[in-house]
Amino acid sequence: MAGPDGRLDGAWAERWLRESARVIAEHREELIDLDRAIGDGDHGENMDRGFTAIVAKLDDESPDSVAAALKMAAMMLMSKVGGAAGPLYGTAYLRASTAVADSDALDGQAVAAMLAAGRDGIVARGKAQSGDKTMVDAWTPAAEAAVTADPADGVAALVAAADAAETGAEATKPLVARKGRASYLGERSAGHLDPGAVSSALILRAAVTAAESGSGAGGPGAGA
């Protein structure tokens, strides 16, 4: 849960994954439509399948730490999600889990490190940079914003990151894609939101919802 000091523990991480599954399912058709405009049209379906598998795994076994929850999510996404999303998100979660492996609960500084590691994993796997019209355009501003928040307050870092990710995702609309299938469209890719950036923003906002619903709440899965 999120404690009174704004630190985030394994129960929060489980709620985050469950809330991510909920919002991805809620926005499944939107993500499909966004991807249909500039990609294969399967992003919403693939992400929903992956997070449904994560929830099923959580129902069988609750992770005992943030790192364990993120590593489990990485393994499930890599094994269940097709296309580019599985390897990219899987690498992000895996790198993030390594970054917080020594933390029982995350303060703002640890959240910033977690997000930076996730972003770096995406960049390393997908070879994309800011401005390429990819999920990096949500993750980079999120990671940068988290650094500017109170280093002692994990929830404040999440809020700053989620706000920046949403702004970054919206900013992909006028961009011309330089990576992935959307790049095949050239100038015609402009005028459309990048589906990976949108799903990233949804997931980072879910982290905030999980933290806020867990303040003073019960154990794993509370508020899910």
Cβ atoms of 67 and 98 within 8 Å: the answer is yes
Q: Which of 78, 123, 118 is nearest to 97 (CA)?
A: 118
pLDDT reported for residue 185: 86
* Mean pLDDT, rounded, for 1-23: 85
Percentage above 70 pLDDT, the chain: 93
Give the span between the Cα atoms of 31 and 197, in whole angstroms: 10
User: What is the H or E stretch that residue 114 is in?
Assistant: helix 108-126
Measured in whole angstroms, the distance separating CA 17 from the mean position of its chain's CA atoms is: 9
In the predicted structure, residue 6 carries a pLDDT above the cut 70: no
What does pTM read for this prediction? Answer: 0.92
Q: What does the pLDDT look like over 25-41, one tens digit per residue? A: 999 999 999 999 999 89
pLDDT reported for residue 223: 33
Cβ atoms of 58 and 18 within 8 Å: the answer is yes
Q: How many CB atoms lie within 10 A of CB 61?
A: 9
Roughly how many angstroms between the first and final C-alpha of the chain, as a whole number?
A: 12
Residue 8: what are its φ and ψ, rounded to 5°?
-120, 130
Q: What does the pLDDT look like over 57-101, one tens digit per residue? A: 999 999 999 999 999 999 999 999 878 899 999 999 999 999 999
- How many degrees, rounded to 5, is the angle at CA 36 between CA 124 and CA 25? 80
In the predicted structure, residue 103 carries a pLDDT above the cut 80: yes
Give the span between the Cα atoms of 27 and 4, in whole angstroms: 31
In the predicted structure, residue 176 carries a pLDDT above the cut 70: yes
Give the span between the Cα atoms of 221 and 223, in whole angstroms: 6
Cβ atoms of 177 and 185 within 8 Å: the answer is yes
